[in-house]
Amino acid sequence: MTKLDPRALAEAVSIETGLGFIGSEGRTSEGVRWLELIPAGHPAGQTFAIRAEIGWRRIDVRFRLGSFASELMSSVRSADESGRRVFRAVLDACSNAGADVALNLNGATRSHKDDAVWNESWRSFGFAVGKGMLAINEGNDAADMRLIEEWTTRVAAAVIALLPVEVEVEEILDAHGLPEGAKMRIEVNRYERDRRNRAAALAIHGHRCMACGTDMAERYGPVAEGLIEVHHIVPVSEVGPGYIINPKSDLVPLCPDCHSVAHRRSPPYSIKELQNMLRYDCATSGNIRMQSGQ
Ligand SMILES: [Zn+2]
Ligand SMILES: [Zn+2]
């Protein structure tokens, strides 16, 4: 039997987002169990935390900034247009999947669709995604872990959309006026920016191939968990450097087979064309079966 393991959660979310996390666990004063992730390599309090609370048939995943994360908060507030768009698209997908989504700005609840929040002054910022009516906390730890990973990864995908390319977190001085550790950076380099778009695309579209419907983990088991490729509908080489990728409309998950076939032509075959090829495959294998049955 699998346990609810914060380290396994940290590993899964790190792989999916390209940002290293460490995990911990605990219970609220009401006895509700939680798993929490913070970015690896930074003192707690200077960055952020993502906490998943596992309630009765319900999961609530909350993002909050650390008490000493004012530098990071101003960077998040000034996230570029592409980051804000990805953030909103991921939260839209959560909302479309039946979750309650709410921002918390300066202690007040706000809609994630409200663009005005970006122009206000921020004293505190957080957001939460809560999903009820789930078959969770009923004694199946493996199934619970899958749900916790799914919803935590979605929240993490929204968070990394707002992280700047590079953040320098202010040095925090200790009681003796000495800096606590060296200057810290959360670096989201170009590779990780692609990872950010990948994480957003999967948070929005799921892990099933959009052409053939295959979920690799369903076909091969846990070993293939998360094995899915993300395809740019319009090739990267054809869009200008200033182009803002929309992970909802520009990116699609494809299994390795369909992805390879899509790139047998340049520009690549569309999803519709791939689906038509698969219908051809069904039709011909159907004929073969019919013939062999004669
Ligand atoms: Zn496929
Ligand atoms: Zn591709």
Domain extent for 186: 6-202
One domain, residues 149 and 64: yes
Compute the distance from residue 125 Cα to the ligand 2 centre, in Å.
36
One domain, residues 133 and 262: no
One domain, residues 179 and 259: no
Q: Is residue 98 part of a domain?
A: yes
In 3D space, the residue among 192, 196, 115, 137 whose CA is nearest the CA of residue 161 turns out to be 196
User: Ligand 1 (ion): which residues have CB within 5 A?
Assistant: 209, 211-212, 214, 255, 258
C-alpha to C-alpha distance for 104 and 63, rounded to whole angstroms: 10
pLDDT at 171: 46
One domain, residues 108 and 242: no
Compute the distance from residue 253 Cα to the ligand 2 centre, in Å.
9
Compute the distance from residue 276 Cα to the ligand 1 centre, in Å.
12
Three-state DSSP class for residue 41: coil
- Proximal ligand: closest to the CA of 212: 1
Compute the distance from residue 211 Cα to the ligand 1 centre, in Å.
5
Compute the distance from residue 278 Cα to the ligand 1 centre, in Å.
9
Q: How many helices (H) and strands (E) does the chain have?
A: 8, 11
Compute the distance from residue 204 Cα to the ligand 2 centre, in Å.
17
One domain, residues 189 and 159: yes
Q: Is residue 195 part of a domain?
A: yes
Q: Which of these three, 202, 227, 242, is where a domain ends? A: 202
One domain, residues 18 and 102: yes
pLDDT digits (tens, 9 = 90+) for 181-221: 444 455 555 556 778 899 999 999 999 999 999 999 899 98
144 has pLDDT over 90: yes
pLDDT digits (tens, 9 = 90+) for 271-293: 999 999 998 766 665 544 444 43
One domain, residues 158 and 232: no
Compute the distance from residue 194 Cα to the ligand 1 centre, in Å.
21
Q: Is residue 1 part of a domain?
A: no
pLDDT at 172: 47
Compute the distance from residue 144 Cα to the ligand 1 centre, in Å.
27
Q: What percent of the chain lies above the pLDDT cut of 90? A: 62
C-alpha to C-alpha distance for 41 and 221, rounded to whole angstroms: 32
Q: Report yes or no on whether pTM surpasses 0.75.
A: yes
Q: Which of these three, 168, 202, 236, is where a domain ends? A: 202
Q: Is residue 113 part of a domain?
A: yes
To the nearest 10 degrees (0 to 180), the angle between helices 6-17 and 141-162 is 40
Give the chain's domain count: 2
One domain, residues 147 and 67: yes
One domain, residues 158 and 88: yes
Q: Is residue 266 part of a domain?
A: yes
One domain, residues 152 and 238: no
- Proximal ligand: closest to the CA of 277: 1
What is residue 124's DSSP assignment? -
- Proximal ligand: closest to the CA of 259: 2
One domain, residues 189 and 268: no
C-alpha to C-alpha distance for 260 and 256, rounded to whole angstroms: 6
* CATH code for the domain in which residue 102 is found: 3.30.930
Tokens, residue 184: 């810290």
Which region among 98-107, 169-178, 189-198, 216-225 has the lowest average model confidence (pLDDT)? 169-178
Between 193 and 294, the higher pLDDT residue: 193
One domain, residues 93 and 164: yes
Average pLDDT over residues 43-72: 92
Q: Which of these three, 175, 202, 229, is where a domain ends? A: 202
125 has pLDDT over 90: yes
Compute the distance from residue 190 Cα to the ligand 1 centre, in Å.
27
pLDDT at 163: 86
